[in-house]
């Protein structure tokens, strides 16, 4: 079943209810796939996830930045190598910019990482910034 579209959402500038940010190689076919299915197919929540495989060093696309801007809320799936991806960090920066400007909600999900490691940039998160 396809997600339903509410015309009032479009008039408010929201093209998507939820934008999923995740590291594909960590969670695409496991946790994120199940989360996407539950939101989109079971509950009819318009959820965006980028299904494209990305080449290393590739810049985040302008259409993806626009999608982030037009999303009502964000779910960040922090996994062990999330911070190792420039693409993920660029998404995170844009999401936090939008949160500051428009007040969208950000929901962090910690998948096989301790929230303290993300906050303090230790363990796998610290390794990403030691480069």
Q: What pTM did the predictor assign?
A: 0.83
Look at residue 104 in the predicted model and tell me its pLDDT. 94
How confident is the model over 73-110, as pLDDT tens digits? 999 999 999 999 988 999 999 999 999 999 999 999 99
Residues 55-73 pLDDT 10s: 544 567 888 999 999 999 9
3-class secondary structure, 110: strand
**Cα–Cα distances in Å, from 83 out to 4, 22, 36, 72, 105?**
33, 10, 21, 24, 21
Sheet containing 16-22: give its strands across: 47-48, 16-22, 71-78, 105-110
Give the CATH superfamily of 13-129. Toll/interleukin-1 receptor homology (TIR) domain (3.40.50.10140)
At 12 the pLDDT is 67
| Residues labelled catalytic | 91
Q: What are the structural domain ranges in the chain?
A: 13-129
Q: Which two tokens mark 87? A: 């693409």
pLDDT in tens, 12-65: 679 999 999 999 889 999 999 999 999 999 999 999 998 755 454 456 788 899
């Amino acid at each position: 079943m396809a997600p339903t579209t509410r015309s009032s959402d479009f008039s408010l500038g929201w093209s998507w209810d939820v934008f999923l940010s995740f590291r594909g190689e960590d969670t695409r076919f496991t946790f994120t796939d199940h989360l996407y299915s539950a939101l989109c197919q079971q509950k009819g929540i318009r959820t965006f996830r980028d299904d494209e495989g990305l080449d290393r060093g590739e810049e985040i696309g302008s259409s993806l930045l626009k999608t982030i801007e037009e999303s009502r809320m964000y779910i960040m799936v922090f996994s062990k190598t999330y911070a190792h991806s420039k693409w993920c960090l660029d998404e995170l920066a844009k999401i936090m910019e939008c949160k500051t400007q428009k007040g969208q909600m950000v929901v962090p999900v910690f998948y096989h990482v301790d929230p303290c490691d993300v906050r303090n940039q230790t363990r796998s998160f610290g390794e990403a910034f030691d480069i």
